[in-house]
Structure 1
Amino acid sequence: MTMDEIKALIDAMAASDLAEMEVAKDGWTLRLAREARSAAEATPPAAPAVSAPEKPERQSPAPIPSPAPAAASEVRAPLAGLAYLAPSAEAPPFVTVGQAVEAGALLCTVEAMKTFHEVRSARAGVIAAVLVASGDEVEGGQPLFRFG
């Protein structure tokens, strides 16, 4: 696991509301955890702890929920990576402008370190704007969609 990969995971956790994350790769396990804090506190996430595992397990990653947006009408990237608006180049996009979606609807995926993270709608609404193109590099917290 390279320092860039570790930094990307730290950024991903900082941009999300996850309390704990564990990733195994190349015989190493990285476990990130943040202490519970009140909304008034502004402390950074806990420092990463890196240890050699007995045997890494292959697991499907859980979908990362989109962090609470600054504006309730936006859906933001949960972490830095490449945004994909469709399951494949030939397939239609997950959602289009003007489409009504329910809470929990799959809007796009963000690929980070060869892992695809689902970005789902936190609420029902109508997609007013798609703010990225498929294959665009996005930063954690960057707006991806806007509801009308």
Structure 2
Amino acid sequence: MPEKPTEPTPPFDVHVIHQLVRLMKRYDLMAIDLVEGPTKIRLRRRNETPVPAAAAPGLYAAPPPTAPPPPRIESTPAAPPVSDDAVIKSPMVGTYYASSSPDAPPFVTVGTNIRPDSTVCVIEAMKVFTDIPAGLSGKVTEVLVKNGQSVEFGQPMFRVQPA
């Protein structure tokens, strides 16, 4: 009896992807990266800006009304703050938690000295909690996210004065 060729199984269940799309809408996430073994999938939302309808052939659409431009106010833009601080960015999409449990103290606060292996926070994604290491030595000068806040991949979370 000849062997029946096996069909490759999809690396991600369609129902899981649908759930992730609903979570993206619910938490206003723009992208999610999924990795399972050698397979990588990125889900990205489109900007939901309405596209103007095209005029019917042979007809010309009236130009949209334009408001007069607002008066121009001359001012000197403030220079961005000069800082030698490094930034610790989120390595993943998820929910930021400052401590390992609601009643535990935060891993770091402003003024905390950290090492590359110091845990600075926990990020929860799909019910999995991941400890996030600092990756550098220094002193935390600013915490840029709030406990329970959704974070995107690459979003700055901490400013650190390098040691």
Query: Could you state the TM-score of these two structures normalised by the residue count of structure 1?
Result: 0.57
- Counterpart selection for 1:5 from 20, 23, 26: 20
Cα deviations across residues 98-146 of structure 1 (Å, max 9, x unaligned)?
0111111100011111111221111111001110111011111110011
Q: Which has the higher contact order (CA 8 A, sep 6+)?
A: 1
For residues 39-118 of structure 1, what are the structure 2 equivalents within 5 Å? 73-118=86-131
User: Counterpart of 1:83 in 2: which secondary structure?
Assistant: strand
Partner SS state of residue 12, structure 1:
strand
The secondary structure found in structure 1 opposite 2:102 is coil
Over 3 Å counting, the alpha-carbon distance change for 1:82 and 1:122 in structure 2 is: same
What stretches of structure 1 of length at least 5 have no aligned partner? 14-20, 24-30, 34-45, 49-70
**What one-letter code is carried by the residue in structure 2 that aligns with 1:32?**
T
When residues 87 and 32 of structure 1 are mapped into structure 2, their CA distance, relative to the original with a 3 A threshold, is same
Identity percentage of aligned residues: 31
Query: 2-side partners of 1:127 and 1:108: how far apart?
Result: 12
> What is the aligned residue count?
99
CA RMSD of aligned residues (A): 2.8
CA distance in structure 2 between the aligned counterparts of 1:4 and 1:79, rounded to whole angstroms: 18
> 1:47 deviation in Å?
7.8
Indicate conservation of the 8 Å contact 1:86/1:92, yes or no: yes
Pick aligned residue for 2:140 from 117, 120, 127: 127
2:20 counterpart SS class: helix
Bigger radius of gyration: 2
The TM-score with structure 2 as length reference comes to 0.52
Q: Report the Cα offset of residue 5 of structure 1.
A: 3.0
Q: What is the rounded CA distance, in whole Å, between the counterparts of 1:75 and 1:12 in structure 2?
A: 19
Runs of 4+ residues deviating >2 angstroms: 2-8, 10-13
1:22 aligns with 2:36: yes
Structure 2 contact 33–42 (Cα < 8 Å) conserved: no
Give the whole-Å Cα distance in 1 for the aligned partners of 2:42 and 2:146. Answer: 34
Distance 2:145 2:20 in 1: 23
The answer for the alignment partner of 1:32 in structure 2 is 39
Name the SS for the 1:5 alignment partner: helix
